[in-house]
Structure formats: C-alpha cells, structure tokens
Amino acid sequence: MTTTPTVSTASSAPPPSTPPASPGQRLRAVLQGNFRQYGMVAALAVIVILFQVWTSGILLKPLNVTNIVQQNGYILILAIGMVIVIISGHIDLSVGSIAGFVGAMSAVLMIKNDMPWPLAVLLCLLLGAVIGAWQGFWIAYVGIPSFIVTLAGMLVFRGATQYLLEGQSIAPFPRSFSQVSSGFLPEIGGGGGLYHWPTVILGLFVMAAAVWQQVRQRRTQSRYGFDVSPLGWFVFKCAAIVAALAAFTLLLASYRGVPVVGIILAVAFVIYAFVMRSTVFGRQVYAVGGNEAAARLSGVKNKRVTFLVFVNMGLLSALAGLLFAARLNSATPQAGIGMELEAIAAAFIGGASASGGVGTVLGAIIGGFVLGVLNNGMSLIGIGSDVQQVIKGLVLLAAVGFDIYNKKKGGS
C-alpha cells in the first residue's frame, strides 16, 4: 500500500514578523539618539529665560542681543574649527595665540605699511592656513601628539605677537575694515520703518532653508530605511525652529539689523555643517576620530585628513583674529589670551566627545551661545569675573561628565 507523504507545515510557515514600532516608540528612539543635542537646546532656553527674568528683561532687548552676537562671533568661529579638531581625535591649544598673531600682522600690514585692507585680509587668512599646515605636518606626518605641538604653538605665537608689536598696541584700523566686525547689513531705501527689512527678508530665507533641510534629511532617512520620527513630532520640531528663528530675526531687525559678523558666522555655519554632514571628507573626519585603525583599513588616508583638519583650524583662527582686531579697532599684545579655552569649552558643552568621533557644528554653536549668554547675563546682574569663571568651569565639567555618564550607561 502506497502512503502519501506528509508535509510539515511548521517548516514552511513564514517567520513571525516584527510588529512595526508605534509612534511613541519611534519618538522615544529619536529623543534618545539626539538626547545630548536636544538637552543643550533646552539648557540654552532655560538659561535665556532665567537671565531674562533676573535682568528684568534687559537680556533680550534688541541692542543686547546684537551685542551678544558681535561679542561672541570670533569665539563661535573658533568653536566651529575646534569641534572638527576634537571630532578627529585631537585638540588645539594654539588657536588664541594664532588669532592674536594674525591680528597683529594685520595691523602691521594695514596701519604701518598702508596696504589695502582686502589684500591684507587675504594675506592674513593665507598666513593662518600656513600656520595650520605647519602644525598639521608635525602632528599628522611626524606623529607628535597634537597637545604638545599646539602647546608649543601657543608659546611660539604668543611670543611672536609680543615681538611683532614691540609690546605696544597699534591703532586705528581703516574704518572700512573695522566695519567688518561692528557694521550691519545695509538698509534698503533709506530705512525708517519699524523693522530692518533686509534682515527680515534674510530671516525668511533662513527659515525656509532650515525647514527644507529638515524635510530633505527626513526623506533621505526614509529612502535608506532608517527610523524617522512621527509626523507630529516632525511638524512640531519644524515649527519650533521657525519660531526660534523668527523671534531672533525680529529682535535683530528691530534694532539696526543683522551684524556683518552674524552674516559671516551664518555662512561659516552653513558651509561647515554641510561639509561635516554631506561630504566624503566630513565622514572621514568622523571615521578617523571614532577608530583610527579601522578608518585606515577602510582606505581613509588618516594623515591627510588630520593635516587638512589643522589647516582649516589655522584658517579659522586667522579669521577669528581679524574679527577680534576689527572689533577692538586695534591690535594688542594681549589679544587672543583665553580664546582657546572658550572655543574648547563651547565644543564640549555642545556635545563633542573627549574621545573623538562625536560632535556637530550646530552643537558647537549652541555651546558657544550658552557661554555667551552666561557671560552676558552674569555681567548684567553684577556677578564678578571671578565667580563667572567658577560657574563656567562647573558648566563645562557637568557637560563632559554627563557625556561620560551616558556612554557608560549605554555600554552597560
């Protein structure tokens, strides 16, 4: 008798599918993945609100907001370069001395030698890039630790500044050059209205660009199968960005408009955020800082990447030095002292990791504004400079400690 073979249904049944994540689970995952960045934004908002109350509304007056941008523009420029250096797994202690040296050189060229200021600016930026290349050579190709090379650079260029200026200040700069740091976007049609309309138009453009970037990023994540935040949270996030930019725009537009240094900072932010997020070089910087050996095995030219990172840092140090000199309208032997500490603090407060491979340009900007608002707010309510230093040190310690705590918690 022939028996009919039986087919096991268990082996042919499809494997159980994983149920799709609920909107709440997706939102939780997004918040956890960006906790540090959202946390610093929330911290900045809390600091602004507290000092707005403690200063009886002076903090957010248009004139004071403009002062915060102008006073911290050169630190934010340095913070952009510093966060890239830290992401690559290095540190740069020489940026303040380079800024002071380039500022002194600009005074020698413009004031003592009557060189046209655009040409002098170009030469000074080139000088900063050459200094960065010099330090990058020792770090990348000779193998000397960046801490040692840049510490030596800090001493060398501090002494060079003293020598170049002969211990004396040089002033004043040409008015057209000083306007780079203290000037504003020109008005259209003579002005006289309630708001500075070129600033309003520029603000609308920035809002549209910010929302477009968020939509583009969400589409890219969806295209490659990454989890995206729920639509409601995405709409709320875009609305919050637009609201914050609109408030900032109107504050600036109700005084004299956006400062020229603010435009320079915005252009630098857009360029470097794009480079670090959307280019091969940016991904290589993260790879080198995250795991240098793995990056080398993957074909990344580690030495070349490190060299270019320090060339860029030298260029941005020169730009910061020019902005600082233009703001003071003079070159002084003490210019640049402490700038490196402010830039490093801004990068770490904004989410950069001391071990490398982690950080964003936006985070460095947020960290810089946290320090800037703290400095401005504490000065307005009469806190002494000694106490200010203590508070800023504690904020830096808390930010780095929080980062280490999160890493240990994630690894447990």
* Entry pTM: 0.88
Cα distance between residue 185 and residue 197, in whole Å:
10
pLDDT higher than 60, residue 5: no
Q: Which pLDDT score, from 0 to 100, does residue 407 have?
A: 67
Q: Which pLDDT score, from 0 to 100, does residue 106 have?
A: 95
User: Which residue matches tokens 């806190």?
Assistant: 383
Residues counted in the chain: 412
Q: Which pLDDT score, from 0 to 100, does residue 29 have?
A: 59
Q: Which of the four pLDDT bands, split at 50, 70 and 90, describes residue 323?
A: very high
CB atoms inside a 10 Å sphere around CB 150: 26
Nearest Cα to Cα of residue 389 among 375, 409, 373: 375
Q: Which pLDDT score, from 0 to 100, does residue 117 have?
A: 94
Rg (CA), the chain: 25
Q: What percent of the chain has pLDDT over 70?
A: 88
> pLDDT digit string (tens) for 12-38?
444 454 455 566 655 565 555 556 667
HEC profile for 245-299? HHHHHHHHHCCCCCEHHHHHHHHHHHHHHHHHHHCHHHHHHHHHHHCHHHHHHCC
Number of H helices and number of E strands within the chain? 17, 0
How much is the mean pLDDT over the chain? 87
pLDDT higher than 90, residue 145: yes
Q: Sign of torsion, CA 148 151 157 163? A: negative
Q: Which of the four pLDDT bands, split at 50, 70 and 90, describes residue 2?
A: very low
In the numeric block, which tokens belong to residue 68?
């915060």
> pLDDT digit string (tens) for 65-123?
999 999 999 999 999 999 999 999 999 999 999 999 999 999 999 999 999 999 999 99
Q: Which pLDDT score, from 0 to 100, does residue 26 have?
A: 59
> pLDDT digit string (tens) for 375-404?
999 999 998 888 888 988 888 888 777 767
> pLDDT digit string (tens) for 336-370?
998 999 999 999 988 888 888 888 998 999 999 99
Cα distance between residue 80 and residue 270, in whole Å:
11
Nearest Cα to Cα of residue 196 among 283, 266, 263, 289: 263
pLDDT greater at residue 15 or residue 270: 270
Cα distance between residue 250 and residue 195, in whole Å:
7
Q: Which pLDDT score, from 0 to 100, does residue 11 have?
A: 43
8 Å CB contact between 252 and 66: yes
Q: Is 20 exposed, middle or buried (0-12, 13-18, 19+ CB in 10 A)?
A: exposed
Cα distance between residue 345 and residue 396, in whole Å:
6
Query: Which amino acid is it at 236?
Result: F
Q: Which of the four pLDDT bands, split at 50, 70 and 90, describes residue 10?
A: very low
Contacts of 48 (CB under 8 A, 6+ apart): 59, 60, 373
User: Which residue matches tokens 């956890």?
Assistant: 32
Q: Which pLDDT score, from 0 to 100, does residue 161 have?
A: 95
Q: Which pLDDT score, from 0 to 100, does residue 163 have?
A: 93
Cα distance between residue 72 and residue 349, in whole Å:
15
Q: Which pLDDT score, from 0 to 100, does residue 343 have?
A: 94
Cα distance between residue 336 and residue 117, in whole Å:
21
Q: What percent of the chain has pLDDT over 90?
A: 60
Q: Which pLDDT score, from 0 to 100, does residue 34 have?
A: 59
pLDDT greater at residue 188 or residue 37: 188
Taking the CA of residue 136 as centre, how many other CA atoms within 13 Å lie in the half-sphere pointing to its CB? 22
Q: Which pLDDT score, from 0 to 100, does residue 9 have?
A: 44
- For residue 67, which phi and psi values (nearest 5 degrees)? -60, -40
Q: Which of the four pLDDT bands, split at 50, 70 and 90, describes residue 194?
A: confident
> pLDDT digit string (tens) for 273-315?
999 988 999 999 999 999 999 999 999 999 999 999 999 999 9
